[in-house]
Amino acid sequence: MKKTKQELKSAAKTSSTVINLKVGLAEMLKGGVIMDVVTADQAKIAEDAGAVAVMALERVPSDIRAAGGVARMSPPRLIEQIMASVSIPVMAKCRIGHFAEAQVLEAIGVDYIDESEVLTPADEDYHINKHDFKVPFVCGAKNLGEALRRIGEGAALMRTKGEPGTGNIVEAVRHLRDINQHIKRITVLDDAELMTEAKNMGAPYELVKLVKEQGRLPVPNFAAGGIATPADAALCMQLGAETVFVGSGIFKSENPAAFAKAIVKATCHYSDPSMVLEACREIEGEAMRGISIDTIDAGMRMANRGW
């Protein structure tokens, strides 16, 4: 009766009926908030406020934006301190295409890797072949074609590529709407039209076919980039995001602990305006100041990194 590891592996591979373990962890994070943190103390504040996971960073995106220069993977020591301080999953970012940074993160034992446009890209042509890794990857996408290319490379979780560090939700909203509208259009296409659609959007045919059959992305889709208030979180959830990432919004606000709790409450109860109102009321102090997207030079728009 007992199966060997090899037999189980082949059973899991041949069975299209079981969700793979990488996507499985993303399923466990649904309905929650993933918070950017730069110290072990911040990670504890995030965990206490009800975060489902933390993203271990050296600097939050708004500081990366302000500092300029090359943004790289965080120092392993910092990531390890954060991992030791909380019991929820810990994610970390590597540069687009920098598979050696990803190997280091996997060796540290992080629970998820974000191949992220927030850091300076290491490769302008190729993203990481994420199938090579046992640790799951999350990647950003502005539209459905980009999402399916990343999933084709092995990403187990997608997120929007809202403009990070701006406190401006407009780009994340654009990406959520774009992806959802495109999925709806694909579900009504004739089978004969799918290959051309795949060609036009630069996405793997098999995945386009899967989107038509299931009427959704093959992996969960979370919102990220520019979420700065409880109402922002509720907006993204109502637009179909399944969890929200909050970066600079929390620890750049005046009272991070209260702010974090409020965002968690609004995400959990996103469809109940009276609870979102309660969340808004719990915040003392102002949200982060925010930046209008059209004041950012095209070269500094992080969403344009990757393809």
State the Cα–Cα distance between residues 39 and 22, nearest whole angstrom: 26
State the Cα–Cα distance between residues 50 and 156, nearest whole angstrom: 23
CB closer to other proteins, 63 vs 106: 106
CB closer to other proteins, 137 vs 251: 137
Q: Find the binder of other proteins among 39, 80, 88, 201 (CB under 8 A).
A: 88
Give the binding range for other proteins (CB under 8 A) out of 15-23, 62-70, 192-200, 283-291. Answer: 15-23
State the Cα–Cα distance between residues 172 and 169, nearest whole angstrom: 6
The dihedral sign for the CA sequence 111, 116, 122, 128: positive
Ranges within 17-36 binding other proteins (CB under 8 A): 17-19, 21, 24-25, 27-32
Minimum distance from residue 32 beta carbon to other proteins (Å): 5
Query: Active site residue: 2, 9, 93, 130, which one?
Result: 93
CB closer to other proteins, 58 vs 111: 111
Residue 269 touches other proteins, criterion: CB under 8 A = yes
CB closer to other proteins, 27 vs 284: 27
State the first-to-last Cα distance of the chain, in angstroms, to the nearest integer: 47
Of 280, 231, 249, 216, nearest to 62 by C-alpha is 249
State the Cα–Cα distance between residues 90 and 83, nearest whole angstrom: 6
State the Cα–Cα distance between residues 143 and 161, nearest whole angstrom: 9
Binding site for other proteins (CB under 8 A): 3, 5, 8-9, 11-12, 15, 17-19, 21, 24-25, 27-32, 47-53, 87-89, 106, 109-112, 134-136, 261, 264-265, 268-269
Q: Which active-site residues does the annotation give? A: 93
